[in-house]
Amino acid sequence: MPLLYNKIPSLDLTQFTSGSEKQKSDFVEKLGKAWTNIGFVALKNHGLSEDDRQHLYNAVEQFFALPDEIKMKYEDPDVQGQRGYIGKMKEHAKGFDSPDLKEFYHIGQVLDPKDPDTAAYPPNIFPEEVTELSVYGMKAFHTLEKAGVKLLRAAALFLGLEESYFDNKVKNGNSILRPIHYFPVKDPASVPKDAVRAAEHTDINLITLLMGASADGLQVLRRDGVWIPITALPEQVVVNVGDMLSRLTNNKLKSTVHRVINPPPDQMHIPRYSIPFFMHPKSNMDLSCLPECIDEIHPKQFENITAGEYLIQRLKEIGF
């Protein structure tokens, strides 16, 4: 029977990075236990300052307040939504026809001339009207990327792997920072009746690090079918397992279904903002189930596939 949490566990990253051997071991065990049972934790001391977080949110709000015709200058359909602006109601969750009630912006990995694997990534697109989106967006990208590497080191130890197992797989990985605007809906009749801010879904990537949202609404589906709210303190980021890590570990670490529900009708005119960092490996990473996670009780559940192949497959499923 899985452990049923009423709220997601809270962890302090410094216990892993600079604590005693016992504190490091305890962190590994707590992270593994949470990711095995509910797939989510709330993390403090992740490296992103409150000042930088606030500057980024201010820039995000400024950009999404621009007229649609200006925002659309930064939408490039040729890159399948991987960089720049993605307009309102362009994405839907896998298995859902109605689009999510959101618009968003994608900031990706910087191209590294010393690393030919990055040559396949599209270059970033930044709006000239809000220059701080570039400055603080890239700062958050690299800060959360560093925190993600440390979390994956802890996960590797939990799985019985070398601590550095993920390091070369995520260095210059195809990660995405996604500022999201769940836009106001003043006339509910103007959108599909069953449309929500983000329909229930799992994330595609290895792990997601989510900066605190501007309003409630995020929920996670427990193993017993009960939805529980995800709450985190302002200084915390919420970190969850994505499908790539779930596949790699033969579902030992759980990619858990979550959603963003609509507020009450009288509050649908109030916008909501959130900024997740989707940590991806390099496209050539082999996601074949780890031998350490396969036995007679847990037979192999997934076919072999690379991260790049899996990403393309999933992007088609959500409308790109």
Mean of the pLDDT values across residues 208-227?
A: 87
For the whole model, what pTM was predicted? 0.94
Phi, psi dihedrals of residue 73, rounded to the nearest 5°: -60, -25
Helices 132-158 and 21-37, packing angle to 10 deg = 100
Parallel, antiparallel, or unpaired for β 10-12 and 40-44?
A: parallel
Tokens of residue 78, six digits = 């040729």
Q: Please tell me the least confidently modeled range out of 95-99, 166-170, 276-280, 307-311.
A: 95-99
> 3-state class of 22 per DSSP?
helix
Partners of 258 in the β-ladder:
201, 220
> 3-state class of 66 per DSSP?
coil
Q: Which CATH number fits domain 10-317: 3.30.1950.10, 2.40.40.20, 3.40.50.1860, 2.60.120.330?
A: 2.60.120.330
Q: Which among 282, 307, 280, 17 has a CA at the least distance from the CA of 147?
A: 17
As a whole-number percent, the residues of the chain with pLDDT over 70 amount to 97
Distances (CA, A) of 175 to 17, 144, 145: 22, 10, 8
Partners of 210 in the β-ladder:
238, 276
**215/212: higher pLDDT:** 212
Alpha helices in the chain (DSSP H): 13-17, 21-37, 50-64, 68-71, 132-158, 167-170, 243-248, 307-317
Neighbours of 162 (CB within 10 A): 11
Neighbours of 184 (CB within 10 A): 12
Quote the mean pLDDT of the chain.
92
Taking only the tens place, the pLDDT of each residue in 22-33 is 999 999 999 999
